[in-house]
Amino acid sequence: MPEDLPHVTVVIPTLDEERYLERCLESLLEDDYPRELLEVLIVDGGSADRTVEIAERLGREQPFVRALHNPAKLQSAAFNLAMREADPRSEYLIRCDAHARYAPRFISHAVDSMRRTGAVLVAFTEEPESEGAFQAAVAFAQHTPLGVGNSLYRLGDYSGWIDHGHHGCFSREAVEAVGGYDESFSHNEDSELSRRLADAGGKIWLDQRLAMAYYPRETPRALARQYWLYGKGRAGTCIKLGVPPLPRQALPPLLVIWHAALALLALRRRSIRPLAPAAAYAAALGLYSARGAVAGRRPSALLAPLAFAIMHHAWGAGFLARIGGHVVARLSRSRR
């Protein structure tokens, strides 16, 4: 048994991932990392499809793979459960998404990066992939500054120190010291944990070698729900930690307020003229997407204006809903 490599636990939370789970695990195992130093925990939150059946079969085929039941359902709870159940020898916990495919030698590169940088978290870069036209449009949108601002882990082609990471390879000792994920968070739990790790003196490294091919939502409705929850999660982080949103995070809520005000003004005046700025916004999305479609020779990018608009407005609306609920709750308590 190699003595210079650490024991590693890979954590894969799942919920209805029968289409992706086996593909995900196969990509992670395209690695020469010693199997006797590896453990994979598939933590299911109550799947209604064949996910658990597949996980249990994989466990029979690979002795280092185990399936766990997550009664709390949330991914944050899944990670914490895996952290408690992980082999006592494990020094690193790698949080992976089942809805993804990973670069060759992913685990080995993650361990190398942790040891080389001394980070408490090495984050992955995301490379959206697609299997349908709308999914391809979302993949395009999620890989542009117009869609994700300066989120370096989504834009790729960068390695360096960052303020937070979306998934990654964690120092088990560091995560246990801060109490793991906050299980009250259904979304944005990664950013909230990153902040606590940084406050405890840890540093976070983004490694572009750790590429994660991510499959975006396939329908406008699913995308809207995802970004609504993202916005609510970010607002929850701001409320808990008492910090304002970053400038790029403040733009979607302001956009929602602006467009709502324009719509109300148009209704009051019974005229579409007040909607001119909103039309200019839509035109800008169209031009940006058309340019991307031509430059990348991908006609599906012509659907990206819809994806951009959903991402911006659903995120902003979710953020405002969570902030509004918090304000109402505080006012209600103060009147008692």
* pLDDT score, position 16: 93
* pLDDT score, position 243: 86
Q: For the ranges 50-59, 211-220, 245-254, 318-327, which has the lowest average pLDDT?
A: 211-220
Angle between helices 276-296 and 247-269 (to 10 degrees): 130
Per residue in 208-235, is it b (16+ CB within 10 Å) or e — as a string? bbbbbbbbbbeebeebbebbbbbbbbbb
Tokens found for residue 9: 């636990």
Q: Greatest CA separation found in the chain?
A: 77
* pLDDT score, position 89: 96
* pLDDT score, position 1: 38
pLDDT digits (tens, 9 = 90+) for 87-136: 999 999 999 999 889 989 999 999 999 999 999 999 988 887 777 899 99
Tokens found for residue 7: 């024991």
Residues of the chain with CATH 3.90.550.10: 7-217
pLDDT digits (tens, 9 = 90+) for 141-188: 988 889 877 676 666 677 889 887 778 999 999 999 999 999 988 888
pTM: 0.83
CB-based contact 86:41 (threshold 8 Å): yes
pLDDT digits (tens, 9 = 90+) for 219-268: 999 999 999 999 999 999 999 888 899 888 999 999 999 999 999 999 99
* pLDDT score, position 166: 76
Architecture of the CATH domain 7-217: Alpha-Beta Complex (3.90)
End-to-end CA distance of the chain: 65
pLDDT digits (tens, 9 = 90+) for 37-48: 999 999 999 999
Tokens found for residue 83: 């952290």
Q: Which amino acid is at 144?
A: T
Residue 3 binned pLDDT confidence (cut-offs 50, 70, 90): low
Long-range contacts of 64-69 (CB under 8 A, 24+ apart): 64/35, 64/36, 64/38, 64/39, 64/40, 65/25, 65/40, 66/39, 66/40, 66/41, 66/42, 67/42, 67/43, 68/41, 68/42, 68/43, 68/44, 69/43, 69/44
Pairing of strands 204-214, 121-128: parallel
289 has a pLDDT exceeding 90: yes
Report the C-alpha gap between 332 and 280 in whole angstroms.
40
Report the C-alpha gap between 263 and 281 in whole angstroms.
14
